[in-house]
């Protein structure tokens, strides 16, 4: 029964920061028609689902502060454009996940414009309000910073109002208060609208661990039960992936009600490994997280990524080291779970914080007119001097782009890699912590994957019981061909082996 559910098809996903992806009308701002024009490209890359950063009307460039949940940001296009995007994506077999920001709204949302008028306004309790003495009494005037918010003082003044409002991320983003039944009714309408009337395939759920504030934190998980009940009722096939930016132990309970959550611990561990050129017992750490996730949901989907729009780009993390950028992809795309590629990662784009510089224009071409390159911001990191545009990389068999493409195809064609449930991952010990190696068992064709994390050529000290893994499925070490005869792996290279010949 589960096998029929399309949401459980393993999909290689792609995060699009809409403003920076592709401009269709020459105003320099990425838009929905731009994305439609690049669906063939995404299909060629092997992408099967897209997470769009927010597309609702919003005063900010990133649009994580919504003013209308039922409309499309005019800079990005119209609802008709969006419907055409959905149809075109579906025709390519690509699912669309909407970024749903329901922890907070913009201060310019009509609900807040009303709520801030007086404490008797009917929208007042859509948000959190308290007087300074109440805040003091609860001891909540300050908060400890978290990975996803550096805000220490979350209570903000509302002009003459004796009460302050709570905004965890920013004073322009007041937190919604789901103790309000009227707000819950509004949320239900929003979910229904996008899943049923418009027909998106799922949601990426922003700030999922912050729905209730720190002093009522335990209610956040229950909230997702309520949310998931609505989704189950209106569109059981819809996929949900939550942003629970916390350590694995705190993330795990969210799997009870969400299909997937992003694996931040893994993302940072992979980054440290690429910098330090040393394994961090990543296989054991992953096995421990799977055991934890499974307790809450045997059908959990581990949403894995190198980085997203809130982290320094992997290209910069590695110091624009092409071989490491490729190795990062080789690791991500051979681990269990549902991989998310952040737009531009596949061409090795660069960028470090502040945020706008990890969200720079995608480099389609050397900036020819009508190339689709956006220009809303002047790139500081990913310029044609530092990163070869896609057009150049497509023609170069050694490019980062072609490496991504190859690995994605491999992930889809090798059943051992495509498995999505009950992650199949075991350590293979090569007696060297600069050699990361793991087995992906499969009844027909198991694979051993190894990566030389170091700058040194390394011997392959294969365990005796794995001696029959001699058929090379993939290698970017030029000294390898079809059979593993030279028991050595060149610096920063990856090797995939099977015990039976390739078809
Ligand atoms: Ca545009
Ligand atoms: Ca909240």
Q: Per-residue pLDDT tens for 407-442?
A: 999 999 999 999 888 899 999 999 999 999 999 999
User: How far does the centroid of ligand 2 lie from the alpha carbon of residue 116, in Å?
Assistant: 17
Q: What is the pLDDT of residue 3?
A: 38
Question: Which ligand is closest in space to the CA of residue 75?
Answer: 1
List beta partners, residue 438: 427, 449
Catalytic residue from among 206, 302, 346, 432: 206
Contact 127, 166 (CB under 8 A): yes
Catalytic residue from among 48, 73, 243, 345: 243
User: How far does the centroid of ligand 1 lie from the alpha carbon of residue 394, in Å?
Assistant: 24
User: How far does the centroid of ligand 2 lie from the alpha carbon of residue 285, in Å?
Assistant: 30
User: How far does the centroid of ligand 2 lie from the alpha carbon of residue 219, in Å?
Assistant: 10
Q: What is the pLDDT of residue 135?
A: 97
Q: Where are the domains of the chain?
A: 9-105+181-415, 110-166, 420-498
Q: What is the pLDDT of residue 5?
A: 53
**Ion ligand 2: residues, Cβ under 5 Å:** 103, 175, 210
**Ion ligand 1: residues, Cβ under 5 Å:** 23, 25, 27, 29, 31
User: How far does the centroid of ligand 2 lie from the alpha carbon of residue 104, in Å?
Assistant: 7
Q: What is the pLDDT of residue 8?
A: 76
Task: Choose among 363, 351, 472: nearest CA to 410.
Answer: 472
Q: What is the pLDDT of residue 9?
A: 82
Task: Choose among 313, 305, 310: nearest CA to 355.
Answer: 310
Cβ neighbors of 33 (< 8 A, separation 6 or more) are 24, 25, 77, 81
Pick among 3.30.1050, 3.30.70, 2.70.50, 3.90.400: CATH of 110-166: 3.90.400
pLDDT per residue as tens, the chain (503 positions): 343 456 778 899 999 999 999 999 999 999 999 999 999 999 999 999 999 999 999 999 999 999 999 999 999 999 999 999 999 999 999 999 999 999 999 999 999 999 999 999 999 999 999 999 999 999 999 998 888 888 999 999 999 999 999 999 999 999 999 999 999 999 999 999 999 999 999 999 999 999 999 999 999 999 999 999 999 999 999 999 999 999 999 999 999 999 999 999 999 999 999 999 999 999 999 999 999 999 999 999 999 999 999 999 999 999 999 999 999 999 999 999 999 999 999 999 999 999 999 999 999 998 777 789 999 999 999 999 999 999 999 999 999 999 999 999 999 999 999 988 889 999 999 999 999 999 999 999 999 999 999 999 999 999 999 999 999 999 999 999 999 999 999 999 999 999 999 87
Q: What is the pLDDT of residues 324-363, one digit of tens each?
A: 999 999 999 999 999 999 999 999 999 999 999 999 999 9
Residue 108, H or E segment: none
Question: Which ligand is closest in space to the CA of residue 212?
Answer: 2
Q: What is the chain's percent helix, strand, coil content, to nearest 5?
A: 35, 15, 50
Question: Which ligand is closest in space to the CA of residue 154?
Answer: 2
Q: What is the pLDDT of residue 422?
A: 83
Active site residue 206: yes
**Residue 68: CB atoms within 10 Å:** 15
d(CA 262, CA 72): 26
Cβ neighbors of 357 (< 8 A, separation 6 or more) are 351, 377, 379, 380, 381
Question: Which ligand is closest in space to the CA of residue 18?
Answer: 1
d(CA 176, CA 198): 24
Residues in the chain: 503
Which pair of tokens denotes residue 114? 């009303």
Which pair of tokens denotes residue 257? 């009600």
Asked if the 9-105+181-415 domain carries CATH number 3.10.20.30, the reply is no
Superfamily per CATH, domain 420-498 = Golgi alpha-mannosidase II (2.60.40.1180)
Active site residue 243: yes
Task: Choose among 89, 97, 1, 87: nearest CA to 42.
Answer: 89
User: How far does the centroid of ligand 2 lie from the alpha carbon of residue 210, in Å?
Assistant: 4
d(CA 403, CA 325): 10
């Amino acid at each position: 029964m589960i096998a029929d559910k399309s949401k459980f098809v393993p999909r290689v996903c792609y995060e699009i920061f809409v403003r920076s992806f592709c401009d269709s009308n020459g105003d320099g701002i990425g838009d929905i028609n731009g994305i439609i024009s690049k669906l063939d490209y995404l299909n060629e890359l092997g992408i099967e689902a897209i997470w769009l950063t927010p597309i609702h009307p919003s005063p900010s460039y990133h649009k994580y502060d919504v003013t209308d949940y039922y409309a499309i940001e005019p800079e990005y296009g119209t609802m008709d454009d969006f419907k055409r995007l959905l149809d075109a994506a579906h025709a390519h077999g690509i699912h669309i996940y909407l970024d749903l920001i329901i922890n907070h709204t913009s201060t310019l949302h009509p609900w807040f414009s009303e709520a801030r008028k007086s404490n008797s306004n009917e929208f007042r309790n859509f948000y959190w309000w308290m007087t300074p003495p109440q805040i003091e009494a609860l001891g909540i005037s300050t908060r400890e910073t978290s990975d996803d918010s550096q805000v220490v003082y979350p209570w903000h003044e509302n002009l003459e109002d004796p009460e302050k409002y709570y905004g965890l991320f920013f004073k322009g983003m007041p937190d919604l208060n789901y103790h309000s039944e009227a707000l819950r009714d509004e949320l239900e309408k929003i979910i229904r609208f996008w899943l049923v009337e418009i027909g998106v395939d799922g949601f990426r759920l922003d700030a999922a661990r912050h729905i209730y504030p720190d002093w009522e934190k335990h209610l956040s998980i229950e909230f997702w039960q309520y949310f998931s009940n609505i989704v189950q009722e209106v569109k059981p096939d819809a996929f949900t992936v939550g942003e629970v930016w916390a350590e694995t132990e705190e993330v795990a309970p969210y799997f009870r009600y969400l299909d997937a959550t992003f694996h931040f611990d893994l993302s940072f561990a992979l980054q440290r490994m690429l910098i330090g050129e040393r394994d961090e017992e990543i296989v054991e750490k992953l096995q421990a997280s799977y055991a934890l996730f499974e307790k809450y949901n045997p059908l959990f989907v581990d949403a894995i990524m190198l980085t997203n729009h809130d982290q320094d780009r992997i290209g910069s993390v590695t110091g624009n080291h092409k071989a490491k950028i490729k190795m990062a992809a080789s690791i991500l795309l051979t681990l269990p779970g549902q991989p998310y590629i952040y737009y531009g990662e596949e061409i090795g784009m660069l960028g470090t914080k502040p945020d706008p510089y990890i969200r720079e224009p995608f480099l389609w071409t050397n900036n020819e007119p009508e190339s689709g390159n956006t220009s809303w911001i002047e790139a500081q990191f990913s310029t044609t001097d530092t990163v070869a545009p896609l057009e150049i990389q497509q023609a170069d068999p050694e490019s980062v782009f072609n490496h991504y493409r190859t690995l994605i195809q491999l992930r889809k064609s090798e059943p051992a890699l495509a498995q999505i449930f009950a992650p199949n991952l075991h350590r293979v010990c090569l007696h060297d912590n600069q050699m990361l190696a793991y087995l992906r068992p499969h009844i027909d064709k198991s694979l051993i994957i190894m990566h030389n994390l170091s700058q040194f050529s390394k011997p392959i000290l294969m365990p005796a019981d794995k001696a029959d893994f001699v058929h090379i499925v993939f290698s970017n070490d030029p000294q390898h061909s079809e059979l593993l005869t030279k028991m050595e792996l060149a610096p920063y290279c990856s090797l995939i082996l099977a015990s039976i010949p390739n078809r």
